[in-house]
Amino acid sequence: MTDATAFAHSLTRTAAAVNAMLDSLLPPVKEAEGRVVDAMRYAALDGGKRLRPFLVCASAELFNVPGVQALRAAAALEMIHCYSLVHDDLPAMDDDDLRRGRPTVHKAYDEATAILAGDGLLTMAFEVLADPATHPDGAIRAALVTELAKASGAAGMVGGQMIDLQAPKLSLDEAGLVRLQSLKTGALIACACRFGAVLAGASEQAKAHLWDYGQKIGLAFQIADDVLDVESSAQVTGKATGKDAVAGKATFVSRLGLEGAKTQARALVEQAIEHVEIFGVAADPLRAAAAFVIRRQA
């Protein structure tokens, strides 16, 4: 079996486990408010590569964290990711009709329901982390809540999205683009990579290496996204492509050229891998994930 095939198998295994966890955390509701729960389930189940949950589980395995703790933390973080996609697709933001190969939530339901479904996923993520089933130690649960809030709030993903919405008139240079993407995409991915160390109460040094690894693969992931936006199609990626150029947004491809962007992504993967050297062979799944982010087709 090649490394790529072995990685694909373990990504599929983690996806199945996190899907089951999300399904159990989001049971359907019969009353009238059940419509928002249906929309939350539509947004969070049946789709997505589950890369962030994989990163949570792989970092948790470095420290022998119990599987159920890792899966609950992974499901919470994935809820944030799914909420961000629902809101990003709204007419007020990217105005997209297609996500994960299906109609976006506001198309399948309506705009108000999509806003509420995003709100519901965002708040439930913190409910899951704060539950003693996620970790018996209240200080660890508080650390998980704080880390996820910082990574997804105005100093992280929300801040990056705010810059992105203004990007057409900012004409960002490469450093500006790196900052935008480190906030918008990198912070949540880096948080996923740290979560295993946070669950384990590991050293600051271990947490810092995992954050740096996550930031590097997050940037490589975004560069790969920019490349796919130019080279791929909606049929393959399950979402609209070619939109960045139309919106007049600077991307790594527009700034570095296609080949320059690919070279930069490969360099970032190498740098990411150096950050997990200290964990030895136990970090092989993280090495495989780093290679995957620039190989992926969707």
| Residue ranges binding ligand FPP (CB under 6 A) | 48-49, 51, 84-85, 87-88, 100, 157-158, 161, 184-185, 225
Instruction: Identify each DSSP E strand in the chain by its residue range.
Output: 98-99, 102-103
Residue 145 in tokens: 């809540």
Taking the complex as a whole, how short is the minimal distance between the CB of residue 181 and ligand FPP, in angstroms? 9
Closest residue to bound ligand FPP by CB: 48
227 is in the binding site of which of ligand FPP, Mg ion, none (Cβ under 5 to 8 A by kind)?
Answer: none
Nearer to ligand FPP, 11 or 140 (CB): 11
225 is in the binding site of which of Mg ion, ligand FPP, none (Cβ under 5 to 8 A by kind)?
Answer: ligand FPP
Nearer to ligand FPP, 88 or 147 (CB): 88
**CA 257 from chain center: how many Å?**
25
Taking the complex as a whole, how short is the minimal distance between the CB of residue 295 and Mg ion, in angstroms? 22
Q: Measuring CA to CA, how many Å separate 139 from each of 143, 209, 257, 297?
A: 6, 22, 46, 40
Rg, the chain, Cα only: 18
Kindly give, in sequence order, each residue whose CB lies less than 8 Å from that of residue 206, ignoring residues fewer than 6 positions away.
62, 63, 197, 278, 279
Alpha carbon distance 40, 23 (integer Å): 10
Taking the complex as a whole, how short is the minimal distance between the CB of residue 178 and Mg ion, in angstroms? 19
Alpha carbon distance 258, 265 (integer Å): 11
229 is in the binding site of which of Mg ion, ligand FPP, none (Cβ under 5 to 8 A by kind)?
Answer: none
Q: How many CA atoms lie within 13 A of 43 on its CB side?
A: 37
Taking the complex as a whole, how short is the minimal distance between the CB of residue 179 and ligand FPP, in angstroms? 15
Helix orientation angle between 67-88 and 3-25, rounded to the nearest 10 degrees: 80
Q: Would you say 224 and 265 are in contact if contact means Cβ atoms under 8 Å apart?
A: yes
Taking the complex as a whole, how short is the minimal distance between the CB of residue 54 and ligand FPP, in angstroms? 10
Binding site for Mg ion (CB under 5 A): 88, 94
Taking the complex as a whole, how short is the minimal distance between the CB of residue 224 and ligand FPP, in angstroms? 9
Taking the complex as a whole, how short is the minimal distance between the CB of residue 218 and ligand FPP, in angstroms? 9
161 is in the binding site of which of Mg ion, ligand FPP, none (Cβ under 5 to 8 A by kind)?
Answer: ligand FPP
Taking the complex as a whole, how short is the minimal distance between the CB of residue 251 and Mg ion, in angstroms? 12
Instruction: Using CB atoms within 10 Å of the CB of residue 112, give its burial: 0 to 12 exposed, 13 to 18 middle, 19+ buried.
Output: exposed
Nearer to ligand FPP, 84 or 264 (CB): 84
207 is in the binding site of which of ligand FPP, Mg ion, none (Cβ under 5 to 8 A by kind)?
Answer: none
Residue in the block written with tokens 């799944």: 285
234 is in the binding site of which of ligand FPP, Mg ion, none (Cβ under 5 to 8 A by kind)?
Answer: none
Return the H-helix or E-strand segment holding 246.
Answer: helix 243-247
Q: Would you say 256 and 271 are in contact if contact means Cβ atoms under 8 Å apart?
A: no
Nearer to ligand FPP, 69 or 84 (CB): 84
Kindly give, in sequence order, each residue whose CB lies less than 8 Å from that of residue 169, ignoring residues fewer than 6 positions away.
none
Nearer to ligand FPP, 48 or 120 (CB): 48
Nearer to ligand FPP, 11 or 25 (CB): 11
Nearer to Mg ion, 94 or 212 (CB): 94
Overall residue count recorded for the chain in this entry:
298
Nearer to ligand FPP, 180 or 283 (CB): 180
Three-class SS state of 98: strand
53 is in the binding site of which of Mg ion, ligand FPP, none (Cβ under 5 to 8 A by kind)?
Answer: none
